[in-house]
Chain A
């Protein structure tokens, strides 16, 4: 167990800057998830932590130790790779013991350690097989076993579940979480799957183009995203973004939503925007729903009517597509109250959950509605 500090880290490949000043700091035993779209530099950052690549500028500390110049083998870390990278010529037992043997751990101790790991991961019966004789899920377990056997300060995971089918992925997700509880080791976990990030992390770092967009708890990134990218990246279906402009009506400032039939609905805002200012309004699907949903505080609910374009039943919910301000908006409704396509439907919008973003920069504009 060790803390991890990533301090203003840059990485360049030739003239291409892949990481542009990363700052992340986690406590011992925390579960950090690095998430972001493909090519944003997650694996690169993980390789820097592991020491597989050299840092162009900045500093990485594991515990109290600056590890910039320390080779991977002396960093006391273990890593699980996306392709598992099991040594194909060795049995599973050998795979698990290779790192320990390299470190000259006494034989008896290695035996003991392997027994323990095999028991934790329930791979006792696989120990004498070769990797090619295992299923994807079993290989995944062995890859984790190899990391656990080493008992390192930090575990690094690079998209360990992306080669598994959907069902197995959900199972392994829970299992890794259990493992973390049991071992208490610091984990850095890379994924591009936001659900994995939300369900497993203590802290999430959302990256894009080599920059950390937000570093926060899962709840923080979900309910309090710092920009349009984060707001759109986390959550499924994605947050709705509706272009709006602020207007002064009677004595209050607010925004107007227009449905496809041209009916308008005014939503008052109580913070200091300027009339005429334009912005992007963000609202999650679950915060626009049927009027029967019983959203908490009645005072914050605005009701509006709209024509249903498409409905998508997902089982527990039905997603209703409507049009507001000429933008397609997805609402999450209870199946029994969802209207039919073409019909008109009454929607309830929870104004306390509305967020505003700058049109140009995508940054959060402060001041929620009240």
Chain B
């Protein structure tokens, strides 16, 4: 009886009901959009990658044939090798320079604010703009080469941009220029978060400054290393614009990355299934890095 009255009371006012479901109502569109545009589309892409599609989607299921084919294509192989090389160098340089700048900036530097903004501004630029600038500066003939020769080193030659063995390094140079500031900002935030009294205690114990940094400060930045590694990897795998502008993947396909490979196959060559297979491979690369990371993040958060 009491139960009955309570339910009656619960539903007496349509306004109250609306109020109760409002939060769900409000996020419902986003939820649906997420299901379709993220999860649905990922599944769709995976499905296309297992179909016979060429120019037009064709939903005949052929299993993993396209993946087998993908890994037999030299161009994809080169793209993956480039990603390893480019990604490795990109991450190493960004981390090393970023850490160095952060530590130096943390020494009660006058003008710290101005320097920080200078290091960071490339981040606000599009990779297309960055690519345009570096393409001009690395231009064989008019660019850096001419500058060095005019300064007296007549035999200097710098043709990386058009040299298929070296072109990938020009992409590293431009990408490092653009992203180092970001790593510096993360490290700087990390340094500022370190309890100052720990450093003071070490100084009282007589440790020298470099030793304090090596033994205490840098080890305690582990989470920042971890976080910036994840993000830089993510940036590297997604790299697309910079390659397109700087080298268009060339000479030949010597600077192709998975992202440009995917675009070429899916959008210009009309090999949808292969494009989808390469996209799926990229997705799996990112997941292989992100999922363990998010998992450990969430778990450490849950443990307080």
Contacts and interface: CB of A to CB of B under 8 A. Distances in A.
Q: Are A and B genuine complex partners?
A: yes
Interface of A: 59, 66, 68-71
A70 B2 CA distance: 15
A59 B10 contact: no
B277 to A, nearest CB: 42
A66 B6 contact: yes
A66 B2 CA distance: 10
A59 B2 contact: yes
Given A59-B2, A69-B6, A71-B16, 9 more contacts: A66-B2, A66-B5, A66-B6, A66-B9, A68-B6, A69-B9, A69-B10, A70-B9, A71-B19
A66 B6 CA distance: 8
Interface string B1-19: 0100110011000001001
A66 B9 CA distance: 9
B22 to A, nearest CB: 12
A68 B6 CA distance: 8
Contacts of A69: 6, 9-10
Interface string B117-128: 000000000000
A71 B6 CA distance: 13
Interface of A is mostly: loop
Contacts of A71: 16, 19
12 contacts: A59-B2, A66-B2, A66-B5, A66-B6, A66-B9, A68-B6, A69-B6, A69-B9, A69-B10, A70-B9, A71-B16, A71-B19
Nearest to B13: A74
Contacts of B16: 71
Interface of B: 2, 5-6, 9-10, 16, 19
A103 to B, nearest CB: 15
When A and B form their complex, which 5 residue pairs have the shortest distance between CB atoms, in order from nearest?
Answer: A69-B10, A69-B9, A69-B6, A68-B6, A71-B16
A59 B9 CA distance: 14
Contacts of A66: 2, 5-6, 9
A76 B94 CA distance: 60
A66 B16 CA distance: 17
Contacts of B5: 66
B7 to A, nearest CB: 8
B14 to A, nearest CB: 14
Contacts of B6: 66, 68-69
A10 B16 CA distance: 24
Contacts of A68: 6
Contacts of A70: 9
Nearest to A67: B9
A359 to B, nearest CB: 36
A102 B2 CA distance: 31
A59 B5 CA distance: 12
Contacts of B2: 59, 66
B178 to A, nearest CB: 39
A25 B6 CA distance: 21
Contacts of B19: 71
Contacts of B10: 69
A352 B2 CA distance: 48
A68 B2 CA distance: 11
A44 B289 CA distance: 41
A69 B5 CA distance: 10
A71 B2 CA distance: 18
A54 B10 CA distance: 13
A68 B7 CA distance: 10
A299 B258 CA distance: 97
Point out which of A59, A66, A69, A70 has the most chain B C-beta atoms below 10 A from its C-beta.
A69
A69 B16 CA distance: 10
Nearest to B16: A71
B6 to A, nearest CB: 6
A180 B280 CA distance: 68
Contacts of B9: 66, 69-70
Nearest to A69: B10
A59 B1 CA distance: 14
B20 to A, nearest CB: 8
Nearest to A71: B16
